[in-house]
Chains A and B, each alone.
Chain A
Amino acid sequence: KAGVTQTPRYLIKTRGQQVTLSCSPISGHRSVSWYQQTPGQGLQFLFEYFSETQRNKGNFPGRFSGRQFSNSRSEMNVSTLELGDSALYLCASSPTGGFAKNIQYFGAGTRLSVL
C-alpha cells in the first residue's frame, strides 16, 4: 500500500497570503489528522476529520481550517499568513477500526516558510 502523501513538500509564502495543503491518506483509512510542528512548540494537534466531518479540534485560531472529501483526501487552509505560521505541517491517517484503529501513519510533511 502507498503511504500517506502530502503535497507540496515545500512552500514559500509571504505574510497576508493564504495557503492550501493537501493530504492523501492510506487507502481504506477514513480518519485524517493534521499537526503543526515548530522547534519551539513541538508537535501540536490541529484537527481531525472522519467521514468528511471534523471530529476533533486543537487550540488554533480560526485562520486554520480544513476539510475532507468523500474519498478521504483532506486539505487544510491557512488564511492571512503570519510569520509564526512557518512550520512543518504533518498529516496522519488511521484505520477505521480494530486493535490498530488508534495508530497514526504520518506523511513526510509540508514545510511552509512565511516571509
Chain B
Amino acid sequence: DAKTTQPTSMDCAEGRAANLPCNHSTISGNEYVYWYRQIHSQGPQYIIHGLKNNETNEMASLIITEDRKSSTLILPHATLRDTAVYYCIVRVDRNRDDKIIFGKGTRLHILP
C-alpha cells in the first residue's frame, strides 16, 4: 500500500495558488518526500523533493511540517497547464531494497 494519503481531487482558480496536501504519518527519519505530476497521456514529471526543510524551485514550493507527518505542495500561480494528477511519494535511499509506490494521487483542476 502507498505510504501517503492525498485528496482525490481539488479545484483551483487560474492565477491563484494551488495548495496540495499530503499525509505521510508513518514516514521514517530517512525517507524523503517526492512530488510528481502526470499530465494526461504523458509520463510523470518530477516536481520537487525534500527531507525536512522547506524547498523551492522554479516550479513549486514544498512545505514539510516540523513532525514530518504531512506536507503541502504549492503552485504559486496556477495556470491551465497545471491541470494534472499530482503524486506524493516517500522513499529512502534508492540503493536499498526499496520499491517506489505511487498512490492514486490528487487530480487538480485549474478553472479559468
A103-B43 in contact (CB<8A): no
- Among the 9-residue stretches B7-15, B18-26, B68-76, B101-109, the one with 4 or more Cβ atoms under 8 Å from chain A is B101-109
Q: Is A24's beta carbon under 8 Å from chain B?
A: no
A92-B43 in contact (CB<8A): yes
Q: Is A106's beta carbon under 8 Å from chain B?
A: yes
Q: Is A17's beta carbon under 8 Å from chain B?
A: no
B102-A43 in contact (CB<8A): yes
B100-A45 in contact (CB<8A): yes
Q: Is B97's beta carbon under 8 Å from chain A?
A: yes
Interface residues of B, count at CB 8 A = 22
Q: Is the interface of A mostly helix, strand, loop or mixed?
A: strand
Closest A residue, CB atoms, query B46: A103
B32-A102 in contact (CB<8A): yes
A33, B87: Cα distance in complex, Å = 17
Instruction: Tell me which of A31, A33, A103 has the highest count of chain B C-beta atoms within 10 A of its own C-beta.
Output: A103
B97-A56 in contact (CB<8A): yes
Q: Per a CB cutoff under 8 Å, which of B43, B87, B101 touches A90?
A: B43
Interface residues of A (CB under 8 A from B): 4, 31, 33, 35, 42-45, 56, 58, 90, 92, 94, 101-109
